[in-house]
Amino acid sequence: MKTVFEPTKGMIPVDTSYCPGCGHGIAHRIIMECLEERGSLGNTIGVVPIGCAINAHHFMNVDMCESTHGRAPAIAAGIRRVHPDQVVFTYQGDGDLASIGTAEIIHAAHRGEKFTTFFINNAIYGMTGGQMAPTTLIGQKTTTSVNGRTVEQAGLPLRMCEILSQIDCAVFVERVMLNNPANVRKAKAAVKKALDIQDARLGFTFVEFLSSCPTNWGLAPKDALNYVGQNMADYYPVRNFKTPEGF
Amino acid sequence: MSRVLMKGNEAFAEAAIRAGVKCYFGYPITPQNEIPEYMSHELPKAGGAFIQAESELAAINMAFGASASGGRVFISTSSPGLALMQEGIGFIASCEVPLVILNVSRGGPGVGGIQPGQADYLQVTRGGYNGDVKVPVFAPSSIQECANLIYECFDIADEYRNPVVILADGMLGQMMEPVELPEARGITPVEKINDERPWAITGTDNHPERNVVYSLRLDPQVLENHCFDMFEKYAKAEKELVRWTDQGLEDAEIVFVAFGTMSRLCVEAIELLEERGIKAGLIRPISLWPYPNAAFDKIGKNCKVVISTELSMGQMITDVKTAVQGRWPVSLINRTGGMVPSSIEIADRAEKALKEATK
Amino acid sequence: MKKKLFFAGAGGQGALAIGQMIAKAAMEEGLEVTWLPSYGPEMRGGTANCTVVVSDRAISCPLINEADVLVVMNLPSLTKFQSMVVPGGKIFINSSLVPVTSDRKDCDVFEIPCNDIAHDLGNERASNIVMLSAILKETGIVKEETVREQIEKMFSGRKAKFLPANLAALKTYLD
């Protein structure tokens, strides 16, 4: 019999702990597929965040460590100093990266750290039960903004790609979204490019994934994907912000 | 071996390099700034890496990453900086990752001042981290001991897979004394990391099983078992890591208990008291956790009072009382806020304490 | 033998440096030594000071209650610290910058025009070495030769052009 499809060896063959319709599973898989395709699974070190994806090390088949909340970029910087030749990445959510960890991500970019950060933006705190994130959209209802987020009370949502692309030593910055197969393929292309640029040691590389959280958004998975493609993409333009020459 | 005249801060830094440190991460804070300065130009020459972190929070987490992936790591800070690092210390202990942390402490509370203080005693021996964590703490009192202790602490941290803290103060950091430096060991090459630390995350090609360094254990039974395991380790530490020096305990009427800078003032106060016909002795804890309770069993029958002598409002005195177990009255001689008493002040106050104890 | 020395001046006058040179020379001559500086914001303009203890036995305490030798490079240092000298102790005053003498009639007071002599030697920044010369002559605490070797090491390479003035400054009172 001819094998027409095999799951990636980059994912450990267990059920994930993520909710139906959650984007983490897709993001995990495309990152791990890229690492497998380039033969990097055995020489990759990953850092997981605080948040739902703290469990990522149960699913991603590479050496990994946990982090304190928001500090994954500092931890990855330490790993990079010991391992100049390995592939190093952090995987972080929006509460972790865009709220408690803003100093670490800004300074990792500022130093041009030679690792890649995968940023999963689902506009909400998932693991703690649906509180407002810095990335929560205006009008979006969460457990700490029950009538919808307002500018007066919480300011405007933070656009991390726009901020990080201002930093000279952040050399690759791209926002993608995980709302349909075509966009997932584009997301995978961005992951591959980020890893190639990391290999070239040109500077800090960053991919933001607009992703869904049906459970905490109170939407059915399909409606959640529509919310990503319409509401989120409206505020967070899906595009490449920066690519070094030759890539 | 030839002696060199070195500041405590420089001796710590140089001895750490000689112990084979791969990474140092620091953030400027007085009175330990000579250490990041020294590391920034000397560590790269030895093949190591230096980052001036954006904060103490980042520094302790960089340290975690470097050590979890197998590098020998040293970080230093001063009191308020250590307060910022506390979450990281507890996390690193929970992950069973080794690390050597130096606190060149200053006067507190809050931002406090920058003159010498020992008001971090409780911060380092009890910690501000959450959970059932213990961290061995050592307190040197001379520049030679600074170099010797830090050199040894890397091995202790590795053996116990736990953070180890060295508590110095601004005076030790800034003072110069002759020091014989230990021999340079060299940095473990990256391909040898898993031979020494099989658990380190280096990439799965380098070791038979996938490695994960983690703290989260959502199953309470699993977490309880983890705490039990850690406490077996801590019980071993309580047997093996106890260190102290003592003098004149057999016939002392007054027994000072003091560590670090304060112990050196006590030695001079003991000489002054001797001139006044009073016999005094000293217990100098080197390990602050585990505390050298056994030292107190050496105190002779002439003892009238045990005096905890501290640069704080009296933090070690709790441990002194526990060690004394009601056998003698316990008194306190202290200054704080960066004020350092003279040996004369200590002798005078000790004489008064002796009179009160024998009233 | 145990000698306690205290050096004070404005930041940049080199009081801490000559304290350190004596400490290093004493170590090289096989003695025990401690050098303890003041540290903190006062280094940026106020008085900077250091304590040096030299002994042929282990030194318990680097802090001193009284000094055998006081060296002051400016007026505020004299005012502030002259009371700490033991009766019969030695006080060295940089008379180029201190217009008064010490109130301490029970001490040996040496008025050394450090800046004027250094100026005549062509490098006013060697004023502390002029003071060092006087200290070595009057106390004999360390050998001239040990100190001279340090100065030669200190002013080598790019700094070699400062060596002659500093060596001449060291010679001031030692010929």
Q: Which residue of A has its CA nearest to B21?
A: A82
In this predicted structure, what is the pLDDT of residue C44? 56
Task: Tell me the backbone φ, ψ of residue B233, rounded to 5 degrees.
Answer: -65, -45
Buried b (16+ CB within 10 A) or exposed e, A196-212: ebbeeebbbbbbbbbbb
Average pLDDT, chain A: 97
Q: Which residues of A touch B216 (CB under 8 A)?
A: 54, 66
Chains A and B touch (3+ CB pairs under 8 A): yes
Second CATH level (architecture) for the domain C2-171: 3-Layer(aba) Sandwich (3.40)
The band of B179, judged by pLDDT with boundaries at 50, 70 and 90, is very high
Q: H or E segment at B290? A: none
Partners of chain B (3+ Cβ pairs below 8 A): A, C
By the 10 Å C-beta count (0-12 exposed, 13-18 middle, 19+ buried), B111 is classed as: exposed
**Do B72 and B44 form a contact (C-beta atoms < 8 A)?**
no
C61/B175 touch (CB, cutoff 8 Å), yes or no: no
Q: Is residue A7 part of a domain?
A: no
Question: For residue A139, what are the domain limits?
Answer: 24-242
Neighbours of chain A (3+ CB pairs under 8 A): B
Which is nearest to B129 in space by CA: B93, B100, B97, B86?
Answer: B86
B59: which chain A residues are within 8 Å (Cβ-Cβ)?
A: 74
Cβ contact C–B (≥3 pairs, < 8 Å): yes
Count other C-beta atoms under 10 Å from residue B98's C-beta. 23
Digit-coded pLDDT (tens) for A192-246:
999 999 999 999 999 999 999 999 999 999 999 999 999 999 999 999 999 999 9
- Domain presence at residue A4: no
Of B3, B177, B264, the CB nearest to C60: B264
3-state secondary structure of C35: strand
What value does the mean pLDDT of chain B take? Answer: 97
Tell if the CB–CB gap between A71 and B202 is shorter than 8 Å.
no
Instruction: Determine, yes or no, domain membership for A225.
Output: yes
Gap between the Cα atoms of B153 and B54, Å rounded: 26
How large is the C-alpha radius of gyration of chain C?
15
| pTM of the complete model beyond 0.90 | yes
Q: What is the mean pLDDT of residues B119-134?
A: 95
Q: In the predicted model, what is the mean pLDDT of residues B130-151?
A: 97
Query: Could you tell me if C60 and B264 are in contact, meaning their C-beta atoms sit under 8 angstroms apart?
Result: yes
Low-confidence ranges of chain C (pLDDT < 50): none
What is the rounded distance in angstroms from the CA atom of residue A85 to the CA atom of residue A87?
7
Shortest alpha-carbon distance between residue A20 and chain B (Å): 21
Confidence of residue B108 (pLDDT cuts 50, 70, 90): confident
- Angle of helix B34-42 relative to helix B8-18, nearest 10 degrees, comes to 40
Nearest CA-CA distance, residue B154 and chain A, Å = 17
Those residues whose C-beta lies under 8 Å from the C-beta of residue C100, and which sit 6 or more positions away, are: C75, C78
* Whether C63 contacts chain B with CB within 8 A: yes
Domain assignment present for A11: no
Render B197-232 in DSSP notation, one character per residue. Answer: -TTS-S-GGGSSS--EE-----SHHHHHHHHHHHHH
Where do we find the tokens 């213990």? B134
**Among B288, B300, B294, CA closest to B248:** B300
Residues 207-236 of B with CB under 8 A from A: 210-216
pLDDT 10s digits, B202-251? 999 999 999 999 999 999 999 999 999 999 999 999 999 999 999 999 99
User: Would residue A170 count as lying in a domain?
Assistant: yes
Q: Give B-chain residues touching A76 at CB under 8 angstroms.
A: 65
What per-residue confidence (pLDDT) applies to C175?
76
For A193, the token pair is 């490019």
Q: Taking residues B322-347, what's their average pLDDT?
A: 96
For chain B, how many helices (H) and strands (E)? 12, 15
Backbone phi, then psi, for C81, in 5-degree steps? Answer: -115, -5
A207 within a domain of the structure (yes/no)? yes
Q: What is the pLDDT of residues A159-193, one digit of tens each?
A: 999 999 999 999 999 999 999 999 999 999 999 99
Angstrom CA distances, A76 to A72, A135, A164, stand at 6, 23, 17
A35: domain CATH number?
A: 3.40.50.970
- Domain total for chain A? 1
Q: Specify the pLDDT at position C39.
A: 78
The per-residue pLDDT for range A62-92, each reduced to its tens digit, is: 999 999 999 999 999 999 999 999 999 999 9
Per-residue pLDDT, C11: 86
Mean pLDDT, residues B184-209:
97
